[in-house]
Amino acid sequence: MVQDLKMMYGRLKRWSNSTDYYLENVNVKWTFTKKIIKAVVALHIAFILGMGALLVYYSDHNPRITPLMLYRLHVDGYNVKPVKFIPFKKIPDDIKKMVISIEDYKFYTHNGVDIEAVKRAIVINHKVGYRMYGASTITQQLSRTLFLLPFKSIIRKYAELLIALEMEMILDKDRILKLYLNYCELGKGVFGIKNASYYYFGKSIYQLSTDEKSRMLAILANPILFSPYDFKNSKLITNRYYILKFRYYTYNKYRNMLQYAYHN
């Protein structure tokens, strides 16, 4: 009996020691996990506050230079031209409509992210077998242009999402579109529609034909690889060009013909 009790006591002691060791490891891991969680939360708070301060500033001020412009200048070695800012009211209405129609037709109704566009892009890209279409809204694209660098990663996409949501809360839609049209990348070192107009066509944005506007805006999808007169057999850019031309060039042509006929 005594021997049995001693054996039972030994087993209980060994079990207790192993349990204590296990609990100690759990406590160490939990302490480390809590530190990680606190660090992540602190990083998010700092990021959101920092972006918020910048966005409040950009609600009334135009940035002289962006991280993307600095990257193109110092890393890629492009000749980056200073942005020539155009007030929103002076930007041609057809350019605003064309950009919204080809880049983000729900721009004035979503809150920075278009879930339906994400679903549609997933389905289309799965069918074609590669990433043919993106689902970034104009707000997300502006987030990349103003604050981020051209590295494709989950972290950058997550940061882009946070900035876009915060941007929609601080800036109004017209301000977002104005910043987008003035800072969008349209070539190697070319930022903004005014610079692009002079760079590619040698004339003012107000003198461009609808065909030239269509060509220029079509390359927004990849302005580093393509130019308005060299789509390099890209189906994506060619389709974008014809969509813009069909919606505006052909429409305006037949509208003018109808007006002429009605006038006669």
238-259 per-position pLDDT tens digit: 999 999 988 766 555 555 544 4
Provide the pLDDT for residue 126. 55
Q: Which of 179, 102, 90, 92 is nearest to 139 (CA)?
A: 179
For the segment 224-230, the average pLDDT, to the nearest whole number, is 93
Phi, psi for residue 170 in degrees, rounded to 5: -105, -40
Check: CB of residue 100 under 8 Å from CB of residue 106: no
Exposure string over 31-50, b if 16+ CB within 10 A, otherwise e: eeeeeeeeeeeeeeeeeeee
For the segment 34-59, the average pLDDT, to the nearest whole number, is 88
User: Given pLDDT bands bounded at 50, 70 and 90, which one contains residue 133?
Assistant: low
CA 242 to chain centroid: 24
DSSP β-bridge partners for residue 227: 230
User: Given pLDDT bands bounded at 50, 70 and 90, which one contains residue 139?
Assistant: very high
pLDDT at 86 over 70: yes
